[in-house]
């Protein structure tokens, strides 16, 4: 991934969503949230949401979010990249919930405040993890110069 860093960023974004789906599935079984991250992303296509469709939609949203973070590093630099990734992850999930939940009037995405906190922090954790992996694998030589 030394030559094709945008592809590396997309792959990192697709990998970091695996623990996110596991964590959100755990919180869904506790009753803290009504949908998992994958189900929420699948609601971009169908109103009810599907866990199977979420397996395809969530990596694409994660890859897009981390790709946006990679492109932002050209403007904002790579200092504190995990914190910047946390913010990008939360903004990406907020956009999914706002656009496809409130504006499209999908009432399956409307949640309690606790559910919003769980999904937001979970997505922020994914961005944080993506920032750590980007710093380690994509920008490892910039710190040594």
Q: For 23-80, write each residue's pLDDT tens digit.
A: 999 999 999 999 888 998 888 888 888 888 988 999 999 999 999 999 999 999 889 9
Percent of the chain with pLDDT over 90: 54
Read off the tokens for 122.
């979970």
CA nearest 125: which of 79, 78, 93?
A: 93
Q: Name 122's Cβ contacts closer than 8 Å, sequence gap at least 6.
A: 20, 23, 24, 27, 37
Q: Where do we find the tokens 């937001």? A: 120
pLDDT at residue 22 in the model = 93
Confidence of residue 145 (pLDDT cuts 50, 70, 90): very low
50 and 35 Cβ atoms separated by less than 8 Å? no
Cα 35 to Cα 21, 46, 66, 107, distances in angstroms:
10, 14, 22, 11
Question: What is the reported pTM?
Answer: 0.87
Average pLDDT of the chain? Answer: 88
pLDDT at residue 2 in the model = 63
Q: For 68-119, write each residue's pLDDT tens digit.
A: 999 999 999 889 999 999 999 999 888 888 888 778 788 878 788 898 899 8
pLDDT at residue 142 in the model = 63
């Amino acid at each position: 991934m030394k030559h094709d860093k945008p592809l590396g960023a997309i792959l990192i974004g697709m990998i970091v969503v695996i623990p996110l789906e596991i964590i959100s599935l755990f919180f869904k079984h506790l009753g803290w949230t009504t949908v998992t991250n994958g189900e929420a992303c699948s609601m971009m296509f169908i109103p009810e949401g599907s866990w199977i469709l979420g397996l395809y939609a969530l990596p694409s949203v994660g890859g897009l979010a981390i790709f946006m973070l990679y492109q932002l590093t050209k403007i904002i630099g790579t200092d504190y990249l995990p914190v910047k990734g946390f913010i990008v992850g939360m903004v990406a999930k907020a956009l999914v919930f706002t656009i496809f939940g409130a504006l499209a009037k999908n009432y399956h995405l409307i949640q309690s405040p606790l559910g919003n906190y769980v999904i937001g922090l979970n997505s922020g954790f994914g961005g944080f993890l993506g920032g750590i992996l980007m710093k380690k694998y994509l920008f490892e030589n910039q710190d040594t110069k």
